[in-house]
Amino acid sequence: MTSASQKAAIVHYGLADYQILTPGTFVTCAVTGKPILLEDLRYWNADRQEAYLDANVSAQREQELAASA
């Protein structure tokens, strides 16, 4: 999906939205390592500053962390 013309953005995740600190076209999913286009970014955790590919991956991450606590 990523090409030479695309670069990772640096993003600060808030509770309801995010702020782009360094422009780019995508962020990387904290669980899968797959790129997420900023226009498709819907799931993140503000406390951990992590982005997630989709709702299932977000739930998977929560379960993993709860099991290790």
pLDDT for 5: 75
Domain boundaries of the chain, sorted by first residue: 10-68
The pLDDT of residue 7: 96
Which of the four pLDDT bands, split at 50, 70 and 90, describes residue 61? very high
pLDDT tens string 4-23: 579 999 999 999 999 999 99
For the chain, the residue count is 69
Residue 17's Cα: distance from chain center in Å?
12
Per-residue burial over 25-63, b = 16 or more CB atoms within 10 Å of its CB, e = otherwise: bbbbbbbeeebbeeeebebbbeeeebbbbeeebbeebee
Whether the predicted pLDDT of 54 surpasses 90: yes
> What does pTM read for this prediction?
0.88
pLDDT for position 69: 83
Average pLDDT for 44-64? 97
